[in-house]
Amino acid sequence: MGKITGFLEFDRKVEEYAPVEDRVKNYKEFTLPMKEKELKDQGARCMDCGIPFCHSGCPLGNLIPDFNDAVYLGKWEKAAEILHSTNNFPEFTGRLCPAPCEEACVLGINEDPVTIENIEKNIVETAFKKGWVVAEPPASRTGKTVAVIGSGPAGLAAAQQLNRAGHLVTLFERDEKVGGLLRYGIPDFKMEKNIIDRRVKILEEEGIIIKTGVHVGVDVLATEIKDQFDAVLLSGGATVRRGLPIEGADLKGVVQAMDFLKQNNKRVDGITDLGEEIKATGKNVVVIGGGDTGSDCIGTSIRHGATSVSNFEILGKPPVGRPEDQPWPFWPMRLRTSSSHKEGVERFFSISTKKFIGDKNGNLKGLITSEVEWITQPGQRPILKEVPGTEKEWKCELALLAMGFTGSEMTIAEQLGLEADARTNIKASEADYKTNVPGVFVAGDQRRGQSLIVWAISEGRQAAYHVDTYLMGTSYLPLKGEGDLPRV
Ligand SMILES: Cc1cc2nc3c(=O)[nH]c(=O)nc-3n(C[C@H](O)[C@H](O)[C@H](O)COP(=O)(O)OP(=O)(O)OC[C@H]3O[C@@H](n4cnc5c(N)ncnc54)[C@H](O)[C@@H]3O)c2cc1C
Ligand code: SF4
């Protein structure tokens, strides 16, 4: 701990945003950089706790007090080394993570927590700027081959770890470019895609073979892949979208959020062959679903120039602060307001969409909702009840369904004879990531269901350790939180 009184001297400060009227004119990231002195002061706020609860909050077990201290001391290269020892891609989590570490930070008990995520982003961006992030190919090869199927954060992290262990890794991706939801779900205003490209270039320089446009299970049988490789890791995500099977759901203008977001990300990437255009321009947009996907639809619709954007959430409005029954250091269910929410949306809670209304040409022109309440009884699941007399009609020409994902696709599982749970997550325990078929492993959303980037990276790293152990009998890859670096 460099500065013992840091947390008493400095208030929390994070990067500010460009004004709304400027940022909604384009799809670029809009955070404003902080001065080095300000970042060092933020690092100095860390108390280097005897029991750093931030570690337990972080699914990667990031060595947070160590890199905070290095930043305070201006040892940026050391900070980058510490950060990369537990996290392959801090540039993704530093921008996109909801930061469970900050909710668990001890300072957060009676003060604002340390700005861990912002420090993380600035460490890795400094490292890229200074040229410290370079390819580190393995010193020797084991002669073993591994297929990683799916190139989201789980697949990318696993591929890099397995390559470091000396295995020859082939990463299969059915889309044109790698990145999974980082590339085709999350909009550029949250993370510009050159951030993925510069990292993928390093992975290729390290020797990972990347095959895009290959849909495993369709273009090539999963059984063929299994025969050709010594081990297979599945990281195909939870891609089955939840629908809203109500009257009018087939009207033109009722669109799955992922179709809308994926098309827009491709448009921003300069792709012109996009099929039927889905745009919010000049429309009254209703985004159904109050999570990350819904928030991304809001920011995108506003950038399209929607006439109005409303957001419906079926759950009740959570409190702004930490609820009493969810004490520190647990992750609290409180109202989250994203940068997109601040760009001009009206949010409605405890509201259920009952029916879509179309015109005579089959185009969406409105929808009907009613208010709902949740009846809770001790020991029982909450029951949803419609509030009588609250029906309301809304004008709406574009409804975006952002209600999450129900599980993973079953094609590969059927071809390989893999067991799945009732939600179609492929079965494998967190203890070893092994499926019921020897030599086949699974990580990320395809195993745990719809989750977070930080969990995907964590699972990719953990699974890589177990694939390596399966191939070699032992593994020198680090497990969760095992940074192999001395303290600064
Ligand atoms: C719109 C949206 C916004 C989000 N925002 C955030 C956020 O801000 N912060 C956060 O932490 N999390 C966010 N998430 C969640 C996060 O993106 C996911 O939890 C994470 O990407 C899961 O990583 P993954 O590697 O398991 O799978 P994915 O990222 O889903 O990647 C799976 C990849 O596998 C490929 N694939 C699937 N099947 C095959 C096959 N048979 N052959 C070849 N390739 C295949 C897919 O094309 C895809 O590229 C968001 C999710 C969405 C949908
Ligand atoms: S819990 Fe907070 S104050 Fe304590 S070591 Fe972690 S980041 Fe620093």
Q: For residue 270, give both structure tokens.
A: 């300069």
Q: In what order do the strands lie in the sheet with 254-256?
A: 254-256, 398-401, 284-288, 308-312, 346-348
Chain-centroid distance, C-alpha 255 = 22
Say whether the peptide bond before residue 153 is cis (omega within 30 degrees of 0): no
**What are the two backbone dihedrals, phi and then psi, of residue 287, each rounded to the nearest 5 degrees?**
-100, 120
CA distances for 88 relative to 153, 177, 367, 420, angstroms: 9, 19, 45, 28
- Cβ of 158 closer than 6 Å to ligand 2, yes or no, is no
Angle CA 153–157–163, to nearest 5: 145
Using the mean position of ligand 1's atoms as its centre, give its distance from the Cα of residue 414 in Å: 21
Q: Are 413 and 426 in contact (CB under 8 A)?
A: yes
Torsion of CA 137, 141, 146, 152, to 10 degrees: -10
What is the overall mean pLDDT for the chain?
Answer: 96
Q: Check whether 484 has a pLDDT greater than 60.
A: no
Q: Residues 84-99: what's their mean pLDDT? A: 97
Residue with CA at minimum distance from ligand 1 atom 13: 452
Q: Are 252 and 364 in contact (CB under 8 A)?
A: yes
Collapsing DSSP to helix, strand or coil, 143 comes out as coil
**Which ligand 1 atom is nearest residue 153's CA?**
25
**pLDDT the model gives residue 166:** 98
Confidence of residue 56 (pLDDT cuts 50, 70, 90): confident
- Give residues with Cβ within 8 angstroms of 344, minimum separation 6: 20, 24, 302, 309
Q: Residues 309-333: what's their mean pLDDT? A: 92
d(CA 212, CA 193): 16
**pLDDT the model gives residue 377:** 85
Q: Check whether 456 has a pLDDT greater than 50.
A: yes
Please count the other Cβ atoms lying within 10 Å of the Cβ belonging to residue 271.
12
**pLDDT the model gives residue 488:** 35
pLDDT digits (tens, 9 = 90+) for 240-265: 999 999 999 999 999 999 999 999 99
In terms of Cβ atoms closer than 10 Å to its own Cβ (0-12, 13-18, 19+), residue 244 is middle
Considering only CA atoms, which of 6, 7, 17 is closest in space to residue 340?
Answer: 17
Q: How far apart are the first and last CA of the chain?
A: 10
Q: For residue 168, give both structure tokens.
A: 């020859």
Q: Check whether 276 has a pLDDT greater than 60.
A: yes
Confidence of residue 483 (pLDDT cuts 50, 70, 90): low
**pLDDT the model gives residue 1:** 67
How many residues in the chain? 488
**pLDDT the model gives residue 486:** 41
Least confident range from 84-93, 323-332, 362-371: namely 323-332
| Crossing angle between the packed helical segments 292-304 and 257-268, to the nearest 10 degrees | 50
Please count the other Cβ atoms lying within 10 Å of the Cβ belonging to residue 196.
23
d(CA 397, CA 187): 22
Query: How do beta strands 16-17 and 31-32 pair?
Result: antiparallel
**pLDDT the model gives residue 487:** 36
**What are the two backbone dihedrals, phi and then psi, of residue 157, each rounded to the nearest 5 degrees?**
-65, -45
Chain-centroid distance, C-alpha 146 = 25
Please name which ligand lies nearest the alpha carbon of 180: 1
Residue with CA at minimum distance from ligand 2 atom 4: 49
d(CA 124, CA 106): 24
- Cβ of 43 closer than 6 Å to ligand 2, yes or no, is no
Q: Are 483 and 82 in contact (CB under 8 A)?
A: yes
Q: Name all residues whose Cβ lies below 6 A of ligand 1.
A: 96-97, 149-155, 172-175, 180-182, 185-186, 215-217, 235-237, 239, 261, 292-293, 296, 412, 444-446, 451-454, 456
